[in-house]
A = this chain, B = another copy of it.
Amino acid sequence: MAIRVGIDIGATKTKIILITGKGEILARRKIVTDSLGDPNPIVERSSAEVADMLKTEGVKNSKVEAIAVGIAGFSNPRTGMIDLSPNLKWHKVPFTSMMKKKLGREIFMANDVNAAAWGEFTYGAGQGTTDMVAVFVGSGIGGGIVSGKKLVEGATGTAGEVGHMTYRENGIKCPCGQRGCFEAYGGGVPMEIRTRKAVKSGKGRLILEMAKGDVDKINTRTIRLAAEKGDKTAGMIWKQAQESLVTLCSNLTSLLNPDRLVLGGGVLEGNPGLLKIIKDEVPKRAVTLSGRHVKVVPSQLGDDAVAMGAAALVDLYR
């Protein structure tokens, strides 16, 4: 049997799967990443874990077709170089060659969100389409584009940065350093930071109540619940988040005319009403033919999307 290894390196956890070319998951492990500022710990740990997994009964005699990593950050999949990963605080890391030294074989790399989009296209909510856009709203906002059954990678592999398009010039400061990005309005972490700041300054009493009096427990769900109960601060922040996401999804639909718009990520999963609003509004707001055509659907692969997609993406690079 031919198998692949898919690795999803997140800021806190790293997920490793063994998967067949058809998308059947044979094994799954999760380890802590604990590699802020220095890639070496996770390179060591994930390599050891992969080596160990491949010794397991059941896959011992399988041919390993490829090992692929999905990782957050601005990187060039073709060179294997990570220019900047803000979440991991890595700067100019030649990641695939570091992994290659440990595992003794070629490593494929992809941006985590492009990998997740490709996973949804290959094995999840985008199956059977030719054109798909995926938007993941979690701590930040990421996306991936499939056009004519091909992943839109861009000239240097950084296409799909849906969250860092400008929504409002001179708007709210975004973690990326720019102002007014969609992520600054609709991303989970920026939304929480703004809200905590407002609560600390005495606003948004109901938000604090929803978070049981603990400012650190404020999240997009508590913001939304407080907004629903009439809290003004929460209402303003939540409304801006909704509007920014509707505009983002409508714009992507007008620009790319996809069959399906796949929506996933923690903020969307924790606030199911958002999907409905986007579903209702995109057909009205996007260019007519594209708005009528697109189907807005939830992602299907959840936590496995990055690792599965990375493993599937291998076929693009060889």
Contacts and interface: CB of A to CB of B under 8 A. Distances in A.
Interface string A48-66: 0000000000000000000
Interface string A113-137: 0000000000000000111000000
A160 B130 contact: no
Interface in A61-87: 74, 76, 83-84
Q: How many copies, total?
A: 2
Contacts of A147: 145, 147, 150, 152-154, 159
A: interface residue count bin = 35 or more
A155 B255 contact: no
A315 interface: no
Contacts of A287: 74, 158, 161, 164, 176
Interface stretch (A23-31, A221-229, A246-254): A246-254
A2 interface: no
Nearest to A131: B155
Contacts of A256: 152, 154, 159
A243 B256 CA distance: 23
B165 A254 contact: yes
A191 B159 CA distance: 31
A167 to B, nearest CB: 9
Nearest to A257: B154
Interface string A73-117: 010100000011000000000000000000000000000000000
Contact of A154 (B74, B153, B247, B258): B258
Nearest to A157: B257
Nearest to A258: B155
Contact of A166 (B159, B257, B258, B285): B285
Given A74-B289, A287-B176, A129 B152 contact: no
Interface in A16-44: none
25 contacts: A74-B287, A76-B289, A130-B155, A131-B159, A147-B152, A147-B153, A147-B159, A148-B153, A154-B257, A154-B258, A154-B290, A155-B257, A155-B258, A155-B294, A156-B293, A157-B257, A158-B287, A158-B289, A159-B290, A160-B255, A161-B255, A161-B257, A161-B290, A166-B250, A176-B287
8 tightest A-B CB contacts, nearest first = A154-B257, A165-B251, A159-B257, A131-B155, A155-B259, A147-B152, A158-B257, A161-B287
